[in-house]
C-alpha cells in the first residue's frame, strides 16, 4: 500500500477528496488526512462565528467516509521532505509516499509589538471562538477596534455593527479608502453602509503598538475593549519553516504541476502555494482540481499535463450584515441584496455538495 497523506482538511484538500472519492483512488493507495480539527471548517464564515450571528455547528462539515481513507487528528509540527515524514505534536510520525500540504494561513503581524499577544483573530476556528466569547461578553457601549479593512475586516465590522448596535466599532485601515482591491464605487457603497450603521472608519492609520485594551495609532493611544487583527496573512508556520523556495509572501514556489521543485511527490494547495492570484477558497479549489489531474495521470503511468490553462476565478462576494452585500462577479460590481443572496447561495451549494 502506498500512502497519500493530506495535511489539512480545508477547502483545497476537501476538493481533492471530493474528486478522488468514490472511484478515483487506485486499490493500492490509502489516503490519510491529518487535521487538528475533526471536521471541515467553513473558514469563510468565521467573521459571523466571531460576531455571534451563526452557530458553531453551522460551519462544520463532516469529513467524508471511504474504505481507503483514514483520519489522524492532531497538530502537525514539521515535515521532513527528505525522509518523507510528517511529525505530529504528540510525538507520532507519519510516513508518506505522496503528500499534499494544505495547511492554510495565519495572521501576519508585521512586527507590531503586542499585536499577537493582545489582539483576537479570526484565522482559525479556535481563535474565532475566542473572539466570539470576548466580543459577545462586552457590556453596552464598549469599543471594538478592528485592524485592517480588507474583506474579512469589513465583514466582521458590519456583522458586529448590525447584531450589536450598542457597541462602538472602529475600523482602522492604512489606506485612503477601504477595500482598495475593489472598484471605488464598491468602496463608496460599503463606506456609506458603515456611516449609516455608525461604524467609524479610521483612515491612514498606522498601528504601531498594542497593549492590553489599547492600540496605538501613529503612537497615539486609542482605548479599545477588544481588538481584532485582520491586517494581513501569511502561510502556516509549518510551511514557513520548510527549507524550499518561497515568494515574497512566504508561499511555496511550485512547478506548473503544483509540486515542490525537487520533490515530485509533494504538492502544495491553497493559501500556502505561490499562485498568480490572492489566496482564496475558490483559488484553493481550482488548484486542487489541477492537482487531482496530475496525480491521476501519474497513477495511470501517463505524463501529466506540462501546464494548465490559467485559473479563472468567478468573482468575490462580501457581506454587510445579513441583508446587504457587495461583490465583483465577471468584473461586474454588484451592491445591495443580490450579492448577499448570491453569497448565501454559494455557501448553501458548498454544504450541499459536501453531503451536508
Ligand atoms: C473571515 C474570512 C472570510 C473569507 N471569505 C472568503 C470568501 O468569501 N471567498 C473566498 O474564496 N475565500 C475567502 N476567505 C479565504 C479562505 O477562507 C481561504 O483562502 C481558504 O480557507 C484557504 O483554503 P486552504 O485549503 O488553503 O486552507 P484552510 O481552508 O484554511 O484549511 C487549513 C486546514 O489546516 C488545518 N491546520 C492548520 N494548521 C494545522 C496544523 N499545524 N496541524 C493540523 N492541522 C492544521 C486547519 O484546521 C484547517 O482545517 C476568507 C477568509 C476569512 C478568514
Predicted confidence (pLDDT) per residue in 73-108, tens digit: 999 999 999 999 999 999 999 999 999 999 999 999
- Residue 239: partners with Cβ closer than 8 Å, 6 or more residues away: 101, 103, 250, 251, 252, 268, 272
Cα 4 from Cα 9, distance rounded (Å): 14
Q: Could you identify the atom of ligand 1 that is nearest to the CA of residue 76?
A: 42
**SS3 (DSSP) at 290:** helix
Q: How confident is the model at residue 22 (pLDDT cuts 50, 70, 90)?
A: confident
pLDDT tens, position by position, 249-303: 999 999 999 999 999 999 999 999 999 999 999 999 999 999 999 999 999 999 9
- Please give the average per-residue pLDDT across 18-40, as a whole number: 94
Q: Could you identify the atom of ligand 1 that is nearest to the CA of residue 74?
A: 43
pLDDT at residue 352 greater than cutoff 90: no
Q: How confident is the model at residue 67 (pLDDT cuts 50, 70, 90)?
A: very high
- Residue 146: partners with Cβ closer than 8 Å, 6 or more residues away: 153, 156, 157, 169, 170, 171, 172, 227, 228, 230
- Please give the average per-residue pLDDT across 207-229, as a whole number: 98
Q: How confident is the model at residue 356 (pLDDT cuts 50, 70, 90)?
A: low
Cα 87 from Cα 75, distance rounded (Å): 9
Q: Could you identify the atom of ligand 1 that is nearest to the CA of residue 237?
A: 41
Q: Could you identify the atom of ligand 1 that is nearest to the CA of residue 288?
A: 25
Cell of 38: 475533526
pLDDT at residue 334 greater than cutoff 90: yes
Q: What is the 3-state composition of the chain as percent helix, strand, coil, each rounded to the nearest 5?
A: 30, 30, 40
In testing the pocket of ligand 1, which one of 100, 280, 326 has its CB within 8 Å of the most ligand atoms? 280
Residues touching ligand 1 (Cβ under 6 Å) are 8-12, 34-37, 41, 43-44, 46-47, 75-76, 102-104, 122-123, 151-152, 155, 236, 238, 270-271, 279-282, 284, 317
What spacing in Å lies between the alpha carbon of 15 and ligand 1's midpoint? 13
- Please give the average per-residue pLDDT across 131-139, as a whole number: 98
Q: Which phi and psi angles does 235 have, rounded to 5°?
A: -60, 160
Cα 186 from Cα 192, distance rounded (Å): 10
- For atom 15 of ligand 1, the residue with the nearest CA is 280
> Residue 329 has what pLDDT?
92
Q: How confident is the model at residue 174 (pLDDT cuts 50, 70, 90)?
A: very high
Q: Could you identify the atom of ligand 1 that is nearest to the CA of residue 103?
A: 34
Q: What is the mean pLDDT of the chain?
A: 96
- Please give the average per-residue pLDDT across 187-206, as a whole number: 97
314 or 200, which is more confident? 200
What spacing in Å lies between the alpha carbon of 223 and ligand 1's midpoint? 31
Cell of 347: 455557501
Amino acid at each position: 500500500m502506498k500512502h497519500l497523506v493530506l495535511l489539512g482538511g480545508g477547502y483545497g484538500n476537501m476538493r481533492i477528496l471530493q474528486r478522488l472519492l468514490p472511484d478515483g483512488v487506485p486499490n493500492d493507495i490509502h489516503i490519510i488526512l491529518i487535521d487538528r480539527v475533526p471536521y471541515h471548517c467553513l473558514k469563510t464564515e468565521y467573521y459571523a462565528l466571531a460576531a455571534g450571528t451563526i452557530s458553531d455547528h453551522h460551519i462544520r462539515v463532516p469529513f467524508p467516509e471511504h474504505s481507503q481513507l483514514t483520519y489522524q487528528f492532531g497538530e502537525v509540527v514539521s515535515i521532513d521532505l527528505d525522509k518523507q515524514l510528517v511529525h505530529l505534536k504528540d510525538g507520532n510520525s507519519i510516513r508518506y509516499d505522496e503528500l499534499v500540504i494544505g495547511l492554510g494561513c495565519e495572521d501576519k503581524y508585521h512586527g507590531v509589538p503586542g499585536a499577537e499577544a493582545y489582539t483576537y483573530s479570526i484565522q482559525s476556528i479556535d481563535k474565532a471562538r475566542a473572539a466570539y466569547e470576548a466580543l459577545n461578553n462586552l457590556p453596552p457601549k464598549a469599543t471594538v477596534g478592528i485592524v485592517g479593512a480588507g474583506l474579512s475586516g469589513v465583514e466582521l465590522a458590519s456583522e458586529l455593527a448590525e447584531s450589536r448596535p450598542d457597541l462602538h466599532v472602529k475600523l482602522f485601515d492604512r489606506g485612503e479608502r477601504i477595500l482598495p482591491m475593489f472598484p471605488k464605487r464598491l468602496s463608496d457603497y460599503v463606506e456609506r453602509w458603515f456611516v449609516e450603521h455608525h461604524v467609524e472608519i479610521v483612515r491612514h492609520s498606522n498601528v504601531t503598538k498594542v497593549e492590553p485594551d489599547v492600540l496605538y495609532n501613529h503612537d497615539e493611544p486609542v482605548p479599545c475593549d477588544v481588538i481584532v487583527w485582520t491586517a494581513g496573512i501569511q502561510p502556516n508556520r509549518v510551511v514557513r519553516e520548510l527549507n524550499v523556495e518561497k515568494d515574497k509572501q512566504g508561499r511555496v514556489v511550485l512547478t506548473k504541476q503544483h509540486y515542490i521543485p525537487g520533490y515530485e511527490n509533494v504538492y502544495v494547495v491553497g493559501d500556502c502555494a505561490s499562485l498568480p492570484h490572492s489566496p482564496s477558497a475558490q483559488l484553493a479549489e481550482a488548484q486542487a482540481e489541477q492537482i487531482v489531474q496530475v496525480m491521476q495521470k501519474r497513477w495511470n503511468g501517463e505524463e501529466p499535463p506540462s501546464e494548465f490553462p490559467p485559473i479563472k476565478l468567478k468573482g468575490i462576494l462580501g457581506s454587510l450584515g445579513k441583508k446587504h452585500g457587495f461583490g465583483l462577479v465577471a468584473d461586474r460590481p454588484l451592491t445591495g441584496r443580490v450579492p448577499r443572496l448570491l453569497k448565501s447561495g454559494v455557501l448553501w451549494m458548498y454544504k450541499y455538495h459536501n453531503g451536508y
